[in-house]
Amino acid sequence: MNDEINNVDIIEYIISEECKGLRADQAIANENIQFSRSLVQKWIKKGNITVNNKIIKPKDILSENDKVTIIPEENINSNFIKPEEIFIKVEYEDKDLIVVNKDINIVSHPGAGNTSGTLANGLAYKYPELVNLPRSGLIHRLDKDTSGLLIVARSIESYMILIKKMQNKEIKRRYIAFVNGQLMKNGQINQPISRHRIDRKKMAVNPSGKEAITDYEVIKNYKYASKVRLKLHTGRTHQIRVHMQYLGYPIIGDKTYGLKIDKNNKIDILKEFSRQALHAEELQFIHPRNGQDINIKSEVPKDLKELEEALDV
């Protein structure tokens, strides 16, 4: 294992405002998405994870500014993912990594209430070597109803390098979205995000949250909506959806952060579109082994094309 990987063997950081008040296993898994919650629980019980240099229990509640230390083990996949035959569209593949184009209505990896039928289950079936990697090699995720590109590592070496690149903002991610309202100019949203103070399943703009930066570029205006391209500088949970809501142009079809559409609204497509109109269109990064520039793009799926046709009347 090379020096670049060894440098990330020990992980140390401070618990953010977003995760204060959560159980230790939940908070640490939320802030280290490369590790599953069950693996975090195992490491806590073995003493591989300490808080303020003390042994803890998975159910202990963490406070803001608590110091977390994680000492990963070489075999970090204690949470076996059952291989399942699921269709996966592959946009790029070599011996080190894969770029897949996730469809809607599929969860990225197993979690509470979703133990099977996920993209990670399908990856473990199509690429058997991925059962030895956390989350079947997925280094990031997309919401169930967001379509588009995801990077999958095929070895622990590639996995750790790509995770570090993601943490260092060296992987460029661009999205296409259709939003409510006519957005007339390009700009940047630089507003911190944390977990919602009341509804802990949601996120919200909060001055004491984590840094979150999203660039937006208007591609086209329609009578009641706009097509925009978005670039993520950070990767907070639900970042684009929260930021567009904050800007006043929520994503069409977003049941959590979108508009409450008037039942008398004549624009049926705005009422009936079944998911957030958001697609991960482009990934750009340096290959973890050969240093080549990888740039992968994908077309928007059929449902978004149909949405655009309905808006463009």
- Which residue numbers are catalytic? 143
Helix (H, G, I), strand (E, B) or coil at 152: strand
Q: How far apart are CA 140 and CA 96, in angstroms?
A: 16
Q: How far apart are CA 208 and CA 211, in angstroms?
A: 9
Of 75, 74, 54, the C-alpha closest to 66 is 54
The residues near 151 (Cβ < 8 Å, ≥ 6 apart) are: 97, 98, 99, 138, 139, 140, 162, 171, 283, 285
Q: Are 34 and 78 in contact (CB under 8 A)?
A: no
Q: Following DSSP, what letter does each residue of 212-274 receive, concatenated?
A: -EEEEEEEEE-SSEEEEEEEESS--TTHHHHHHHHHT-PBTT-TTTS----TT-S-HHHHH--
Q: Are 299 and 167 in contact (CB under 8 A)?
A: no
Q: Are 157 and 5 in contact (CB under 8 A)?
A: yes
